[in-house]
Amino acid sequence: MRFFMNVVALAGLLAFPSLAFAQDLALKRVMLSSGGLGYFEYEASVDGDATLKLTVSLGQVDDVLKSLVVYDDKGSVGGLSLPGREPLAQAFKDLPFDQNSLGSPAELLQTLKGAQVTVGGSRSISGRIVSVEEDSVALPDNKGMVKRTRVTLYTDRGLQQFILEDAENLQFADAALRDKVGQALVAIQGNRAKDARTIDLSIRGQGKRTVRVAYIVEVPVWKASYRLTLGADPAAARSGLQGWAVVENLSGQDWKDVELTLVSGRPVAFHQALYNAYYVTRPEVPVEIAGRLMPGIDRGGVTADQQRAKSSLPMPAPAPYRARQERSVGAPAMAPPPPPPAGLAAAAEQIEASDAATQVIFKFPRAVSVENGRTLSIPIVDRQVPAARLALYQADTAARNPLAAIRLTNDGESGLPPGIITLYERDKGGNVSYVGDARLSGFPVGETRLLAYALDEKIIIERDVAQIDRVASGTIANGALRLSRVVRQTTTYRVRGPAREPRELVVVQRRLPGWTLTKPETKDVELSEGNYRIPFQLPGGDQTQTFEVVQEQTQQQEIRLVESAAEQIRVYAEAREFDPKTREALTRVLQLQQAATEAQRKVAQVDAERQAIVQEQGRLRDNLARVPANSDLQRRYLATLDKQETDLEALANRRAEAEKAAAAARDVLRTYVSQLG
């Protein structure tokens, strides 16, 4: 043990570059984002040049290297350094021994055979290490055996030995080797915290001043939750809303009297492995030999419709952002800690909430302390908000009954982050009961949200869907009939409302893409995520009311008149949706088409007669091959064939005339159709 401590003492003889006194950084400000990121800001008082030390977990190093920023109004940043990702492996990479060799003095000497050493004590020896062997020595008075380490040195006087455990000190003669041993010991000491890295930040400047260092790392997402208490009067215009923020400190360090700011938004955030070492793979190039050429490779080289958007409440201008001269953007101002709040309302009223361009910011006026690994819940909202009760019908959620819901309006000065809302209801006697939960999405100023929290079984709804298709109009142009068809989908709601109370019913109806809402009127209809939200009033009383929601789509169709079937033309010629001129033209087209069809029928008739004769000739020729020559039957077959040939010649003439007539009829049809429109 005595010798090992001497080896450690050798590390003190190493020559290190001089560093300014290392200052401690104190955590002063924490800003947590609902995007899962945290802004941590530290302060340190420095005088002249200084080195600031910042210890972070290994998993945070990439984010720190990406985002670390230094604010020093009277100085500048000299640089940043930290151990490599695998500092021990790198430290021993070029050393003549490995980490295991420092397990004991004997292992180190065994690894460094041949090194020149000097041994001090009652017997001084200098020489090169030849061998290091374990030896067993008997203790006096037969008290057992003890293991000793016998070291053999090659000296000017030949081979000499000594017992390592009896040596008072041992020194390596080579100064460079002493330095390497010292460096290895320092690396082992600095790597005791395997999952932490200490960053040395060099600051250059003059005079006393405060330096701030900040970075952004991954943190647990802070959550918002709300409580909405409905009054005893269903017609009450406002209800009490309380909001709480749940914050977890899993940063690895305690937060003591820090300025806490919560930010609700959706920032674009990236992670990059900056702490990993990367190497560029180089192509293997063959050795050039005489006469061989290797040229380089050249690889040279994104409301016009009828719906009237429901106007929203006027948006107040965002509060002007005031950044202190000596603070980073977004850092909350430090305030002396006031006495603890008397109650929730007083605490919530002191929260400073403001809207930025893309996020909502909540600043806490008093310092906050949270131990590492603990959770904190803090009130952020406590005020009266406009809240109206209604019934919300979503067929996909509940087909027979609507949902009890609240129309909540944000008339405050800042938006609200998304979260769960727990709803309570106060009766006329002042008793409060739980009625359900709802989900609140991001809630900007001036917007309205419908929050469904329970099933309303006092209202029963039956729903039917029907669809019809009709021709609306038609025109003829360029030889085609251009039709406008109207497809109408009607959804009928039959609603039996509550017997003793009026109710507003909001029906969520899917908006068909490319269709137009024609019933009811669109002035009170809202659009939300591809759905219509249509209000209907239920006056109360046990009676059934019927409401219709109609959507229509106009479809265009083109029919080529010359190629169309007569039956199809006849249908459109009789359509009362067309004007008389169009119907008259279609009637004439039908007549000409029928004439062309009749002419073509005559051509087909001639072809059929000819085909019958050809088939009969085939039969006669087959029979001729079987009858005796010069027989009466043979002469009869030959006479019939001769007559058929005459008939075929006549049919050929008739077909030519029929084909000519059919072509003329088709030409008349085409000419007439081309002149229409």
**What's the CATH code of the domain at 21?**
2.30.30.720
655 occurs within a structural domain:
yes
385 occurs within a structural domain:
no
User: What is the rounded average pLDDT of the residues 472-476?
Assistant: 84
User: Do 96 and 108 touch, CB atoms closer than 8 A?
Assistant: no
Instruction: Mark whether 615 and 518 lie in a shared domain.
Output: no
Instruction: Mark whether 94 and 144 lie in a shared domain.
Output: yes
Judged by average pLDDT, the poorest of 281-295, 359-373, 376-390, 527-541 is 281-295
Instruction: Mark whether 576 and 518 lie in a shared domain.
Output: no
Q: How many CA atoms lie within 13 A of 620 on its CB side?
A: 19
175 occurs within a structural domain:
yes
Backbone dihedral angles phi then psi of residue 280, each to the nearest 5 degrees: -85, 125
Instruction: Mark whether 634 and 542 lie in a shared domain.
Output: no
Instruction: Mark whether 83 and 208 lie in a shared domain.
Output: yes
Q: Mean pLDDT, the chain, as a whole number? A: 80
Residue-wise pLDDT for 197-246, tens only, equals: 888 888 898 889 899 999 999 999 999 999 999 988 888 899 999 999 99
User: What is the rounded average pLDDT of the residues 115-131?
Assistant: 88
192 pLDDT tier (thresholds 50, 70, 90): low
Distances (CA, A) of 637 to 610, 640, 646: 18, 5, 15
301 occurs within a structural domain:
no
Distances (CA, A) of 659 to 149, 230, 298, 601: 123, 88, 67, 10
Of 537, 560, 583, the position where a domain reaches its end is: 560
Instruction: Mark whether 512 and 583 lie in a shared domain.
Output: no
What b/e string do you get for 315-348 counting C-beta neighbours within 10 Å, with b at 16 or more?
A: eeeeeeeeeeeebbebbbebeeeeeeeeeeeebb
% residues pLDDT > 70 (the chain):
84
What DSSP designation does 333 have?
P
What b/e string do you get for 211-228 counting C-beta neighbours within 10 Å, with b at 16 or more?
A: bbbbbbbbbeebbbbbbb
193 pLDDT tier (thresholds 50, 70, 90): low
pLDDT value at 345 more than 70: no
User: What is the rounded average pLDDT of the residues 249-255?
Assistant: 90
% residues pLDDT > 90 (the chain):
26
409 occurs within a structural domain:
no
pLDDT value at 294 more than 80: no
pLDDT value at 639 more than 80: yes
Query: Domain range for residue 189?
Result: 2-25+46-216
pLDDT at 32: 92
Residue-wise pLDDT for 356-377, tens only, equals: 777 888 888 888 999 999 999 9
Of 514, 540, 560, the position where a domain reaches its end is: 560
pLDDT value at 187 more than 80: no
3-class SS string, 514-577 = CCEEEECCHHHCEEECCEEEEEEEECCCCCEEEEEEEEEEEEEEEEECCCCCHHHHHHHHCCCC
345 occurs within a structural domain:
no
Instruction: Mark whether 133 and 206 lie in a shared domain.
Output: yes
Q: Checking DSSP bridges between strand 544-560 and strand 516-519, what pairing results, if any? A: antiparallel
Helices H / strands E in the chain, number of each = 9, 31
Residue-wise pLDDT for 614-635, tens only, equals: 898 888 888 888 888 888 888 8
- Farthest CA pair distance, the chain: 155
User: How many folded domains does the chain comprise?
Assistant: 3
pLDDT value at 321 more than 80: no
Instruction: Mark whether 478 and 608 lie in a shared domain.
Output: no
Instruction: Mark whether 533 and 640 lie in a shared domain.
Output: no
pLDDT value at 558 more than 80: yes
Using left for φ > 0, alpha for ψ between -120 and 50, and beta otherwise, residue 323 falls in: beta
Length of the chain counted residue by residue:
677
pLDDT value at 296 more than 60: no
What DSSP designation does 416 have?
B
Q: Tell me which of 425 and 327 has the higher pLDDT.
A: 425
On whether the pTM is more than 0.85, the answer is: no
pLDDT value at 55 more than 90: no
Instruction: Mark whether 595 and 545 lie in a shared domain.
Output: no
Residue-wise pLDDT for 22-54, tens only, equals: 457 899 999 998 888 999 999 999 988 888 988
User: Do 258 and 367 touch, CB atoms closer than 8 A?
Assistant: yes
Instruction: Mark whether 550 and 621 lie in a shared domain.
Output: no
pLDDT at 5: 33
DSSP line for 298-321: -------SSPPPPPPPPPPPPPPP
Q: Checking DSSP bridges between strand 448-455 and strand 69-71, what pairing results, if any? A: unpaired
297 pLDDT tier (thresholds 50, 70, 90): very low
User: What is the rounded average pLDDT of the residues 503-508?
Assistant: 92
Residues 6+ apart with CB under 8 A from 430: none
87 pLDDT tier (thresholds 50, 70, 90): low
pLDDT at 40: 94
pLDDT at 128: 92
545 occurs within a structural domain:
yes
Of 190, 216, 242, the position where a domain reaches its end is: 216
396 occurs within a structural domain:
no
User: Do 265 and 221 touch, CB atoms closer than 8 A?
Assistant: no
pLDDT at 391: 92
Q: Tell me which of 192 and 349 has the higher pLDDT.
A: 192
Nearest by Cα to 675 from 562, 594, 566, 569:
562
pLDDT at 89: 65
Instruction: Mark whether 489 and 590 lie in a shared domain.
Output: no
